[in-house]
């Protein structure tokens, strides 16, 4: 399996509901390093997994509506705990939509799966991985 990973980051504010979150129930800030790994079994006709420049730009565009925002105030996250795991899935969903609308070019339609990892600190990260096509 071939892979290409691109990286960006977001800075957010949010709070959680539930005793399991302890002091994180209060509004707090977080900076996430966001990695998106694109996977495919064969290279496209240009011998690439995905256009790295396009993938980097698209990731930045998809993260922009979240960056420097209080996630508690965004309607799409209303009533949800925006945990690192949850946000990894949200970014995955945005990137899949971008691929399907052609934002990463026609070669990206051959991507088999994507893994999104959000690093919340130097010791902790969470990921979501899913398939795009069936082989």
Give me the number of domains the chain comprises: 1
| Residues 62, 40: Cα–Cα separation, whole Å | 22
For the chain, what percentages of helix, strand and coil (3-state, to nearest 5) are there? 35, 30, 35
Each residue of 90-118: pLDDT tens digit?
A: 999 999 999 999 999 988 989 999 999 99
Contact 104, 58 (CB under 8 A): yes
Contact 77, 94 (CB under 8 A): no
Q: What is the pTM of this model?
A: 0.94
Instruction: Read off the pLDDT band of 46 (50, 70, 90).
Output: very high
The domain in which residue 45 lies consists of 2-131
Here the CATH number for the domain that contains residue 103 is 3.30.479.10
């Amino acid at each position: 399996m071939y892979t290409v990973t691109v990286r960006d980051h977001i800075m957010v504010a949010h709070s959680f509901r539930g005793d399991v979150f302890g002091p994180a129930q209060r509004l707090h800030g977080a900076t996430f390093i966001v990695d998106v790994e694109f996977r495919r079994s064969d290279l496209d006709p240009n011998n690439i997994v995905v256009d790295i420049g396009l993938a980097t730009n698209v990731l930045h565009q998809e993260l922009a509506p979240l960056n420097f925002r209080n996630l508690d105030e965004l309607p799409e996250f209303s009533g949800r705990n925006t945990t690192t795991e949850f946000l990894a899935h949200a970014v995955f969903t945005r990137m899949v939509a971008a691929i399907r609308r052609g934002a990463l070019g026609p070669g990206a339609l051959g991507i088999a799966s994507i893994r999104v990892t959000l690093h919340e600190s130097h010791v902790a990260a969470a990921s979501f991985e899913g398939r795009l096509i069936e082989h």
